[in-house]
C-alpha cells in the first residue's frame, strides 16, 4: 500500500482530500504545519482576544485533529515558524518597502508547502504528498482544476517541475459544492467551516495596524495625477495598492477615486478620479524571477495578472536576466508590481513571473 502524507490545514478542502485518498486505497498520514507564532495572533490593537482565547491557528489544528481521528488517520505537527518568517514574511515586508504588492501565498507554496513540508513527509516514509489545492497533474503538466472558480494553479505557478513530482491533488477533478456535500455526508466538523480569505498571517485584523508593527509608518502627500495638486496625506505607501478605491484617506464627500501609482523616492501616492479611469490601464509589463514548469516557451499564450482576473491574450518577448516583456494590446486594468503574472496554454499552467514594471504606449507607469 502506497503511503501519502497530506497537508491538513483544518479546513474542509484538506479534510475531504484526505478522505478521497483513503477511498482510493492509500495509507494516509496527516501533517499540520504551524507557520506563524500564535502569540502574534492578537487583535488590531495588539491585545489578545479575550473572548476567543484559542487563536485561529490553534483552532485549525484542533479541527484537523478531530477530522483525522474520525477518519482514523494519524496526525503529526511540524513547526516552520522560523522558516516562514525568513522565506515568506521577510519577503513580504521587503516588497512592501519597495512600494510593491506581494503575494505571500505563492512564496509559501514555493518555500514551505512544497519544500520543507516535502522533506518532513519523506521522513514519515511518504511515497506521495498531497494537498487540498484545486489543481490537476496530467503527466508532467500542471493543469487547471475542473472547478475553474476555485482553480488554484495561480498560487502554484512558481513551483519547479521537481517540486510537482509525486504530488497528488485529490480535489482537482471535483467542484467545491461536491466537496462540501462529501464533508456533510461524513459529518466532518469542517463541513460548513468558512474558507480562509486574505493574507493568512493577518486574518481578520486591521491591515494597516498590523503592518505598522513591522514597518514604521511614513506619511506623505496624496497627489491628483491629472492636476498635480496635493489633495491629502497618506499613512505610508505600504498600505496601498494599485486600483485601490477604499480607505485611501481622502476626507469629505469626494467623487470616486483610485490609487494609480506610487513614487517611493519622494513618498508620493498618486490618485485619479472617475469611474473607468484611463490611468489604471496598461498594455505591457516586464516580469522577473520567471519560473517555467513546462518546457514550452511560447510567443503567444494567455496570462492572469491576479488570481480572480480574466485570461488575457499576451505576446511574450524573452529578455536577459530571466525577464520577459509581456504585451497585451487590449489593455488591462490595475496590473500591479509585486503580483504574479501567470502564463497558460489552454488548461495548462506554464509558469509565472513577478510583475516588475508596467507600461502604456512604451511609457513606464506606476512611478515606482
Q: Do 163 and 22 share a domain, yes or no? A: yes
Q: Do 10 and 132 share a domain, yes or no? A: yes
Strand partners, 316: 326
Q: What is the rounded average pLDDT for all residues in the chain?
A: 92
Question: Is residue 222 situated within a structural domain?
Answer: yes
Strand partners, 31: 7, 76
Mean pLDDT of 261-289: 93
Q: Do 319 and 350 share a domain, yes or no? A: yes
Model pLDDT, residue 32: 97
Domain boundary among 127, 162, 185: 185
CATH number at residue 252: 2.30.30.280
Q: Do 37 and 102 share a domain, yes or no? A: yes
Secondary structure (3-state) at 216: coil
Question: Is residue 246 situated within a structural domain?
Answer: yes
Q: Do 338 and 253 share a domain, yes or no? A: no
Model pLDDT, residue 44: 40
Residue 204 scores a pLDDT above 70 = no
Structural domain of 291: 278-365
- 189-194-196-198 Cα dihedral, nearest 10 degrees: -170
311-321 pLDDT, tens per residue? Answer: 999 999 999 99
Share of the chain above pLDDT 70, in %: 92
- For residue 271, what are the CA distances in angstroms to 69, 213, 237, 279, 365? 53, 26, 12, 9, 13
Q: Which residue has the cell 485518498?
A: 21
Check if the beta carbon of residue 71 is closer than 8 Å to that of residue 22.
Answer: yes
CATH number at residue 123: 3.40.50.620
Question: Is residue 223 situated within a structural domain?
Answer: yes
- How far apart, in whole angstroms, are the C-alpha atoms of residue 14 and residue 4? 13
Q: Do 179 and 305 share a domain, yes or no? A: no
Mean pLDDT of 282-288: 98
Cα four-point dihedral sign 186, 187, 190, 192 = positive
**Domain count within the chain:** 3
Question: Is residue 24 situated within a structural domain?
Answer: yes
Question: Is residue 206 situated within a structural domain?
Answer: no
- 152-153-156-158 Cα dihedral, nearest 10 degrees: -140
Residue 268: pLDDT band with limits 50, 70, 90: very high
What's this model's pTM, rounded to 2 decimal places?
0.92
- Lowest pLDDT segment from 118-122, 139-143, 204-208: 204-208
Strand partners, 271: 224, 259
Q: Do 23 and 109 share a domain, yes or no? A: yes
Please give the grid coordinates belonging to residue 45: 490593537
Share of the chain above pLDDT 90, in %: 81
Model pLDDT, residue 367: 66
Please give the grid coordinates belonging to residue 173: 477533478
Q: Do 129 and 72 share a domain, yes or no? A: yes
Mean pLDDT of 212-230: 93
Model pLDDT, residue 237: 95
Residue 350: pLDDT band with limits 50, 70, 90: very high
Domain boundary among 273, 294, 313: 273
23-55 pLDDT, tens per residue? Answer: 999 999 999 999 987 565 444 444 444 444 456
Mean pLDDT of 198-210: 74
Check if the beta carbon of residue 311 is closer than 8 Å to that of residue 344.
Answer: yes
Q: Do 324 and 350 share a domain, yes or no? A: yes
- Lowest pLDDT segment from 52-56, 155-159, 232-236: 52-56
Model pLDDT, residue 196: 78
- For residue 338, what are the CA distances in angstroms to 54, 165, 308? 33, 28, 16
Check if the beta carbon of residue 121 is closer than 8 Å to that of residue 129.
Answer: yes
Check if the beta carbon of residue 212 is closer than 8 Å to that of residue 244.
Answer: no
Question: Is residue 195 situated within a structural domain?
Answer: no
Check if the beta carbon of residue 158 is closer than 8 Å to that of residue 350.
Answer: no
Strand partners, 351: 292, 343
For the ranges 38-47, 245-254, 292-301, the one whose mean pLDDT is highest:
292-301
CATH number at residue 313: 2.40.30.10
Q: Do 152 and 166 share a domain, yes or no? A: yes
Model pLDDT, residue 40: 56
Taking CA 51 as the corner, what is the angle to CA 47 and CA 52, rounded to the nearest 5 degrees? 85
Catalytic residues: 108, 200
Which residues are within 8 A (CB) of 320 and not within 5 positions of it... i.e. 6 or more apart?
Answer: none
Model pLDDT, residue 80: 95
Q: Do 54 and 26 share a domain, yes or no? A: yes
- How far apart, in whole angstroms, are the C-alpha atoms of residue 87 and residue 75? 25
Domain boundary among 137, 167, 185: 185
Residue 174 scores a pLDDT above 60 = yes
Question: Is residue 207 situated within a structural domain?
Answer: no
Residue 214: pLDDT band with limits 50, 70, 90: very high
Question: Is residue 52 situated within a structural domain?
Answer: yes
Q: Do 178 and 228 share a domain, yes or no? A: no
Amino acid at each position: 500500500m502506497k503511503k501519502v502524507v497530506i497537508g491538513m490545514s483544518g479546513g474542509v478542502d484538506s479534510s475531504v482530500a484526505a478522505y478521497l485518498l483513503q477511498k482510493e486505497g492509500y495509507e494516509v498520514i496527516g501533517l499540520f504545519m504551524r507557520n506563524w507564532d500564535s502569540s502574534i495572533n492578537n487583535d488590531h490593537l495588539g491585545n489578545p482576544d479575550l473572548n476567543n482565547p484559542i487563536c485561529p491557528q490553534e483552532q485549525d489544528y484542533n479541527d484537523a485533529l478531530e477530522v483525522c481521528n474520525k477518519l482514523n488517520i494519524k496526525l503529526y505537527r511540524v513547526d516552520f515558524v522560523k522558516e516562514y518568517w525568513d522565506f515568506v514574511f521577510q519577503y513580504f515586508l521587503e516588497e512592501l518597502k519597495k512600494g510593491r504588492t506581494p503575494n505571500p501565498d505563492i512564496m509559501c507554496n514555493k518555500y514551505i508547502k512544497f519544500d520543507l513540508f516535502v522533506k518532513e513527509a519523506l521522513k514519515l516514509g511518504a511515497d506521495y504528498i498531497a494537498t487540498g489545492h484545486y489543481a490537476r497533474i496530467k503527466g508532467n503538466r500542471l493543469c487547471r482544476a475542473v472547478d475553474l472558480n476555485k482553480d488554484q494553479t495561480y498560487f502554484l505557478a512558481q513551483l519547479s517541475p521537481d517540486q510537482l513530482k509525486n504530488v497528488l491533488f485529490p480535489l482537482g477533478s471535483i467542484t467545491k459544492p461536491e466537496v462540501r456535500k462529501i464533508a456533510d455526508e461524513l459529518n466532518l466538523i469542517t463541513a460548513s467551516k468558512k474558507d480562509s480569505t486574505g493574507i493568512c498571517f493577518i486574518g481578520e485584523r486591521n491591515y494597516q495596524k498590523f503592518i505598522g508593527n513591522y514597518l514604521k509608518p511614513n506619511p506623505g502627500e496624496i497627489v491628483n495625477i491629472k492636476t498635480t495638486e496635493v489633495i491629502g496625506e497618506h499613512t505610508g505607501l505600504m498600505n496601498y495598492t494599485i486600483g485601490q478605491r477604499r480607505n485611501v484617506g481622502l476626507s469629505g464627500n469626494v467623487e470616486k477615486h483610485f490609487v494609480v501609482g506610487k513614487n517611493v523616492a519622494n513618498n508620493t501616492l498618486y490618485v485619479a478620479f472617475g469611474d473607468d479611469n484611463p490611468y489604471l490601464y496598461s498594455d505591457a509589463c516586464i516580469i522577473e524571477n520567471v519560473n517555467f514548469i513546462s518546457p514550452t516557451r511560447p510567443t503567444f499564450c494567455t496570462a492572469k495578472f491576479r488570481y480572480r482576473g480574466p485570461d488575457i491574450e499576451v505576446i511574450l518577448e524573452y529578455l536577459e536576466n530571466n525577464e520577459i516583456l509581456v504585451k497585451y494590446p487590449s489593455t488591462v486594468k490595475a496590473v500591479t508590481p509585486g503580483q504574479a503574472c501567470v502564463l497558460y496554454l489552454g488548461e495548462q499552467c506554464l509558469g509565472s513571473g513577478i510583475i516588475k514594471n508596467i507600461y502604456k504606449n512604451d511609457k513606464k507607469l506606476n512611478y515606482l
